[in-house]
């Protein structure tokens, strides 16, 4: 196999640590659904699913049927897959046939699900998502009673696997009133289930932030994305954890991701010369630069031009000039004896230095997700200890 221009290493021990930490937080008897949408937040869905199974996870949530198909390929027989988002009408039969659980958020869909169950001879497994205040997807109050009646009538063909909703902004305490309102509305839906005597097998509403900071939102299952990858959902959630354990800082969650490449070329640049495209960087003295074999088309953000850093021989080397489509340069004047082929860390640790994802995106976790999820799936992922 020809070598790719960069590689991503995933730490099994860090993931196991994170899953165990989350387990301790949510308590016994609560199932973790590992959210692996967006190529497992850029970590690589196939490698990640296998790693999560090693850490004891047996349930995976995706945003699309397309992603679910990848999970199906990678997972062991005993794990379950759940589609939270897009499943086209023409793929419902495929989902039922493969025993994939999926969200239903409008009443009309149920007739198609029933049809698919009859056609395949298999029971469909649906999670009814209810509208509680995020106003994206979710069944409204008006449609809920007919839905319950339908599920009751066709319980042989359709399993009422779950009742769920999603919080719009649980990571910020300033949204607490909204989260509380959403939770109250969810409880009302649940009450109606009991009144009509048709109850879901499981209830699940908490994402990472809610699972870590709002204990009362932890029902039978939690849907964990960002935290399992080793990121606190926000400073609010981190500080509430510190308060809970009475400490000043805590390394309970560990990043599992390291992104590496190798020095492609090393060259001397004379004072007064410009580096790369245009004139955005001019050498003010004689310098030595190392060429990196990747650029913005490989997921390395163009915004890092003239300001990002990489690690070579454990030392920080600053990006000089613009990030090109497939190349960029770094200043290694201060690092002795840099050679072609030397390992470069783009994100992660080398010796005693670290480049964080947050140094790319300046603080907000949402942007962390954005940066990670845009890493091309073509970059090879390798699981390490
Ligand atoms: C992405 C997503 C999650 C996971 O959110 P995190 O904050 O990353 O834990 C949970 N539920 C739904 C419906 C989602 O779309």
Closest by CA position to 57, among listed 95, 88, 26, 85? 26
Question: Hey, how many other C-beta atoms are within 10 angstroms of the C-beta on 140?
Answer: 11
Does residue 213 surpass a pLDDT of 80? yes
Q: At 302, is the secondary structure helix, strand, or coil? A: helix
Closest by CA position to 102, among listed 112, 211, 193? 112
Instruction: Tell me what pLDDT residue 362 has.
Output: 65
Does residue 361 surpass a pLDDT of 90? no
Residue 37 annotated to the active site? yes
| Residue 23: its H or E element | helix 12-26
Instruction: Tell me what pLDDT residue 367 has.
Output: 74
Q: Which two tokens stand for residue 108?
A: 């009309």
Place of tokens 């056609």: 119
Gap between the Cα atoms of 119 and 252, Å rounded: 48
Does residue 218 surpass a pLDDT of 60? yes
Does residue 229 surpass a pLDDT of 60? yes
Contact call for residues 188 and 139 (beta carbons, < 8 A) = no
Instruction: Tell me what pLDDT residue 220 has.
Output: 98
Centroid of ligand 1 to alpha carbon of 223 (angstroms): 6
Closest by CA position to 110, among listed 80, 89, 135? 89
310 φ/ψ sector (left φ>0, alpha ψ -120 to 50, else beta): beta
pLDDT band at 370 (very low <50, low <70, confident <90, very high): confident
Contact call for residues 107 and 143 (beta carbons, < 8 A) = yes
Gap between the Cα atoms of 321 and 377, Å rounded: 26
Gap between the Cα atoms of 288 and 269, Å rounded: 6
In testing the pocket of ligand 1, which one of 134, 223, 234 has its CB within 8 Å of the most ligand atoms? 223
Which tens digit of pLDDT belongs to each residue from 132-153? 999 999 999 999 999 999 999 9
Among the options 25, 37, 75, 161, which is catalytic? 37
Instruction: Tell me what pLDDT residue 360 has.
Output: 80
Instruction: Tell me what pLDDT residue 46 has.
Output: 97
Domains in the chain, please, with CATH? 12-245 (3.20.20.10), 257-355 (2.40.37.10)
pLDDT band at 358 (very low <50, low <70, confident <90, very high): confident
**Distance separating the N- and C-terminal Cα atoms of the chain:** 23
Instruction: Tell me what pLDDT residue 366 has.
Output: 56
| Residue 343: its H or E element | strand 343-350
Q: 109: Cβ below 6 Å to ligand 1?
A: no
Instruction: Tell me what pLDDT residue 1 has.
Output: 83
Q: 224: Cβ below 6 Å to ligand 1?
A: yes
Gap between the Cα atoms of 117 and 92, Å rounded: 9
Instruction: Tell me what pLDDT residue 365 has.
Output: 59
Strand partners, 269: 287
Residues 6+ apart with CB under 8 A from 239: none
Residues 6+ apart with CB under 8 A from 33: 59, 60, 61, 82, 204, 221, 222, 223, 224
Q: 38: Cβ below 6 Å to ligand 1?
A: no
Closest by CA position to 244, among listed 19, 55, 24? 24
Tell me the pTM. Answer: 0.96
């Amino acid at each position: 196999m020809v070598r790719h221009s960069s590689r991503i290493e995933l730490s099994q021990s860090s993931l196991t640590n994170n899953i165990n930490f989350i387990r301790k937080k949510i308590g016994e008897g609560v199932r973790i659904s590992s959210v692996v949408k967006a190529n497992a937040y850029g970590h690589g869905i196939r490698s990640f699913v296998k790693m999560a199974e090693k850490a004891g996870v047996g349930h995976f949530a995706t945003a699309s049927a397309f992603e679910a198909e990848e999970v199906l390929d990678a997972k062991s027989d005993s794990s379950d897959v759940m589609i939270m988002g897009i499943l086209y009408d023409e793929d419902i039969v495929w989902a039922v046939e493969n025993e994939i659980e999926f969200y239903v958020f409008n009443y009309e869909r149920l007739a198609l699900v029933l049809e698919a169950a009859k056609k395949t001879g298999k029971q469909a497994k649906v999670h009814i998502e209810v509208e509680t205040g995020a106003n994206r997807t979710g069944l409204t109050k008006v449609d809920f009673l007919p839905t319950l009646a339908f599920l009751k009538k066709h319980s042989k063909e359709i399993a009422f696997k779950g009742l769920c909703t999603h919080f719009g902004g649980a990571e910020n305490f300033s949204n607490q009133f909204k989260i509380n309102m959403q939770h109250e509305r969810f409880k009302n839906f649940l009450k109606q289930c009991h009144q009509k005597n048709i109850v879901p097998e499981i209830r699940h509403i908490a994402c990472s932030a809610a699972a870590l900071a709002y204990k009362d939102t932890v029902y039978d299952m939690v849907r964990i994305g960002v935290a399992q990858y080793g990121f606190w959902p926000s400073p609010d959630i981190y500080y509430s954890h510190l308060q809970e354990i009475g400490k000043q800082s805590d390394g309970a969650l560990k990043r599992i991701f390291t992104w590496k490449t190798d020095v492609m070329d090393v060259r001397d640049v004379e004072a007064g010369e410009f580096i790369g495209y245009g004139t955005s960087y001019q050498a003010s003295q004689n310098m030595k630069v190392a060429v990196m074999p990747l650029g913005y088309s490989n997921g390395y953000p163009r915004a890092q031009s003239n300001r990002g850093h990489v690690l070579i021989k454990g030392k920080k080397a600053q990006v000089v000039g613009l990030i090109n489509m497939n190349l960029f340069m770094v200043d290694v004047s201060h690092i002795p004896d840099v050679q072609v082929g030397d390992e470069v860390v783009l994100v992660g640790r080398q010796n005693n230095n670290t480049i964080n994802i947050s140094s790319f995106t300046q603080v907000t976790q949402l942007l962390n997700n954005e940066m990670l999820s845009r890493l091309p799936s073509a970059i090879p992922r390798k699981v390490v200890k």
